[in-house]
Amino acid sequence: MTVWIVLPISLTAFSIPGIWIVYAMAVMNHHVCPVENWTYNLTCSDDNSKQGTPKSCCTLEDVPLISKCGTYPPESCLFSLIGNVGAFMVVMICLLRFSQVIELSHSSSLNTVALISGCTNAAGLVMVGNFQVDYAKSLHYIGAGVAFPAGLLFVCLHCILTYHLAVSALDYWVGHLRVSLTVVALISLVLSGVFFIHESFLLQHLAAICEWIFVLDILVFYGTFAYEFGSVSSDTLMAALQSSAARSCKSPGSSSTSTHLNCNPERIAMI
């Protein structure tokens, strides 16, 4: 077992409580309405609820979408921190898993696409976390439009890779768990998008609930990599470096002399 097992666990343990704290702060500061509220009004002329308690009058602007929860300070500061730190951990997980798959079964286009989609997911998270929806709506929606589909593609590809690399019965059970999480993520993301484009109070609220389910589901999926990261070693990253060096050796147009000098196995192992 290696210390890398802490990385996916930390992402899940840091991000899930973090966004719930953001939500709680937004509710207490009257920036959104609680998720259990299903009653909305066209306007709210006067809200008599005290600060530190949920709003008693809610409009369409108060729907508890995750992005809406992190729009105003002080919760916006924590929301940005979670987005930035979470994106960094996602990139680290993607790189380690990419290297591990190479170590176990050599490089493949599926593994490369999974790495790209995971890093794209992280880039979108940075945009979502740093460009609040009420102040930079276009950039925020671009970030969300990049992060959510990329995250879904990432989990789909890693379901396939999990079964491809499975050896033991426990490996297959992890694969089954990931497929279940992926199905939930797919359904919740599609429903969230369908509901979000309507201005109905009910559908907007359902869109918020589906968005929460999707994000929490993806974070749990990332946490499942703790199962494989127990076997990560120094050879894992070396496998990715050697694979990259080997591909560069085979690049078209390289001379035989250059190939002999740069592709010697001992030289690659020293990278």
What would the two tokens of residue 217 be? 């589901």
- Interatomic CA distance for residues 261 and 55, integer angstroms: 70
**Are residues 97 and 110 in contact, defined by beta-carbon separation less than 8 angstroms?**
no
**Are residues 89 and 108 in contact, defined by beta-carbon separation less than 8 angstroms?**
no
| Same-domain status, 65 and 193 | yes
| Same-domain status, 115 and 220 | yes
- Interatomic CA distance for residues 125 and 132, integer angstroms: 12
**259 φ/ψ angles, rounded to the nearest 5 degrees:** -65, -40
| Same-domain status, 38 and 160 | yes
**Are residues 33 and 249 in contact, defined by beta-carbon separation less than 8 angstroms?**
no
Question: Hey, what's the torsion of the CAs at 210, 20, 157, 141, to 10 degrees?
Answer: 70
Please count the residues of the chain: 271
Q: Which residue has the tokens 């990049």?
A: 146
| Same-domain status, 185 and 247 | no
| Same-domain status, 114 and 214 | yes
Per-residue confidence (pLDDT) for residue 261, from 0 to 100: 40
| Same-domain status, 74 and 188 | yes
Helix ranges restricted to H, 166-270:
169-196, 201-223, 226-229, 234-249, 256-262, 265-269
What would the two tokens of residue 195 be? 């509901």
| Same-domain status, 222 and 267 | no
| Same-domain status, 122 and 192 | yes
| Same-domain status, 7 and 97 | yes
| DSSP per-residue letters across 123-161 | HHHHHHHHS-TTTSHHHHHHHHHHHHHHHHHHHHHHHHH
Q: How many domains does one find in the chain?
A: 2
pLDDT, one tens digit for every residue, the chain (271 residues): 578 899 999 999 999 999 999 999 999 998 999 998 888 888 777 666 666 677 778 888 899 999 999 999 999 999 999 999 999 999 999 999 999 999 888 768 999 999 999 999 999 999 999 999 889 999 999 999 999 999 999 999 999 999 999 999 999 999 999 999 999 999 999 999 999 998 889 999 999 999 999 999 999 999 999 999 987 776 676 766 666 565 556 555 544 444 444 455 444 444 4
**Are residues 140 and 107 in contact, defined by beta-carbon separation less than 8 angstroms?**
no
| Same-domain status, 24 and 125 | yes
Residue 205: give the domain boundaries. Answer: 3-227
| Same-domain status, 123 and 257 | no
Per-residue confidence (pLDDT) for residue 227, from 0 to 100: 93
**Are residues 240 and 98 in contact, defined by beta-carbon separation less than 8 angstroms?**
yes
| Same-domain status, 193 and 127 | yes
Per-residue confidence (pLDDT) for residue 250, from 0 to 100: 57
